[in-house]
Amino acid sequence: MRLLSQIFQPIIIIPKGAKIKNTEITCKSQKLLLECGLIRPTSAGFFTILPLARRAITKLEDLIHKCLKDVNAQRISLPCLTSSRLWERSGRLEDVGSELFQVEDRHDKRYLLAPTHEEAVADLMADVGPISYKQLPLLIYQITNKYRDELRPKHGLLRSREFQMMDLYGFHTDQKCAENTYNNVNNVYKKLFKILNLPVYRVVAPSGDMGGTLSHEWQLPATAGEDSIAICPSCSHTSLTSGKCSECGKETDVCGSVEVGHTFILGTKYSEPLQAKCITQASNPTPLIMSCYGIGITRLLAASIEALSTDSCIRWPAAIAPFSTIVIGPKEGSKEWSLHGIQATQGVARCIGDVVGDVLLDDRHTLTIGKRMMMADRMGYPNIIVCGRNSIENPPKYELYANNAKTPLLLDMNELMQFLRNDSSNNVVECAN
C-alpha cells in the first residue's frame, strides 16, 4: 500500500477560466501528462519521466517481456553508442545522418547514439559466427532508450528526441523461416494490443531506409497523430492510402493515427555487408536472413492516453494504469472520520492490496471526499473506492467507481473483494497460445 501524500507528483494547477498561451503544448496527451505531474520537460524533445508514469511504463515493459516468451525471445543489452563505421558499411550513415546524434571520443573515433540497432546486432552475429542452422531461428531483443535528432520535436512523448523502445531482431536460415517467425511475432503484437484493449491496425507499409522485403506499420487511431490510415467501413481492410478499398471496392474512411510499432523482414541488407553468416545443412556459409520488430514504449504510453482519454481526464489501458485502485477515506473531523478513521481506512486498503497488489491510499484527509474523487478521476485510476457515509453502517459498505461500470456500486467488504478479484483476473497477462 502506497500513500498518495508521499508520491512525487508535481501537479500543475490551471486556474479556472485561465487562458492557456503555451503554444508548445500541442496535443491532449502532452497536456494531461504535464498537468497531472507524470512527465517534466528538460529541453526541446527531452523529458523526465516521473514516478507514476514510470510505474505505467514498467507495467508495459513487464507485459512485453511476458508476451515475448511466447516466441522464445531472449533479452540482451546492446550499448547505446554504436561505431559509425558499422553504419558506413551498411550504407545508412549517409542516408539518415542528419537524424543522428554523433560524438567523437578522445581518440577521434566516431560513434552515434543509436536510434535502432540493426548494424550492431548484425556485427554481434558476425563476431560470434558463423552460427549453425541448428540454432535458428534466433530471436533476441532489448528495451532501451533510443535517440533521434528530430528537426521539430513536438506532441510531448509522441515525437521526442529520446524515447524508450523495444527492438527485437530475428535471424533465419532462409526466407520461409523468416516468414514463419514474422507471422508468429505479429501474432504476439496482436495479443499485446488486445490485452491493452487498443484498436491498433496492422498496415502494409514501405520499408524506407530500413530496407527489406516486407514491412508493416502498427497504427493506433488518434486525432493528434501525424500519420493517417484509411479504414473500410464495409470489410475493415486498412491501408495507408485513401480512396477505393482494394478488397471490396467501397470508399474508405480516413483518420489520424500514431505509429506505435513497425515490423520488417530485412533479408540480407545488414548481414551481407557486415558478414553475419550461418552454416547451412550443406555446410555452406551463407548470409543470415534478418527480421526486426519495434514497439515505441513511451510513444505507446502517450498514444494510448491520446486515444482513450477525454480533454480533462486520463484514461489508461487497465493493464498499465500506475495503480489499479485508489482508496479515499472520510474527511478529517467528519462524523464518518470519528467512526471510520485512518486506521479503518488503512485496513480497507490493506485488504484490497491483498487482492489487486497495487493499491494507493489517498491519505490527504484534510481535503473533502469530492475534491479527492475529482483528482482521482482526472488521474484515471480504474477503480476508485470511497469510504463515505455508508462506511459507518453495520456491516460497512463502500462506494466503488469503476471505469468499466456505468454507475457506482455500493458494496460490503466481501462483495468488494469479489468484484476486485474478478476485475483483476480479467487483466491477467495471458500471452501463450
Residue numbers of the domain that contains 347: 323-426
Residue 316 lies in a domain: no
Let me know how long the chain is.
Answer: 433
Model pLDDT for residues 175-200, shown as the tens digit of each residue: 999 999 999 999 999 999 999 999 99
Residue 314 lies in a domain: no
- Is pLDDT at 166 greater than 60 in this prediction? yes
Model pLDDT for residues 266-279, shown as the tens digit of each residue: 999 999 999 999 99
What's the mean pLDDT when you consider all of the chain?
92
- Is pLDDT at 284 greater than 90 in this prediction? no
In angstroms, the CA 344 to CA 428 distance is 29
**Total domains in the fold of the chain:** 2
Same domain? For 265 and 341 the reply is no
- Is pLDDT at 430 greater than 50 in this prediction? no
The model's pTM is 0.93
Model pLDDT for residues 4-13, shown as the tens digit of each residue: 999 999 998 8
CATH at 291: 3.30.930.10
In angstroms, the CA 375 to CA 369 distance is 10
Range with the poorest average pLDDT among 90-99, 140-149, 225-234, 352-361 = 90-99
| Element (DSSP H or E) covering residue 198 | none
Model pLDDT for residues 291-347, shown as the tens digit of each residue: 999 999 999 999 999 999 999 999 999 999 999 999 999 999 999 999 999 999 999
**Main-chain phi, psi angles of 40, to 5 degrees:** -145, 125
Same domain? For 328 and 247 the reply is no
C-alpha cell at position 290: 534478418
CATH at 381: 3.40.50.800
Same domain? For 300 and 385 the reply is no
Same domain? For 303 and 336 the reply is no
Residue 306 is predicted with a pLDDT of: 96
Same domain? For 300 and 345 the reply is no
Same domain? For 240 and 388 the reply is no
Give the closest residue to 39 by CA, choosing from 298, 323, 308.
Answer: 298
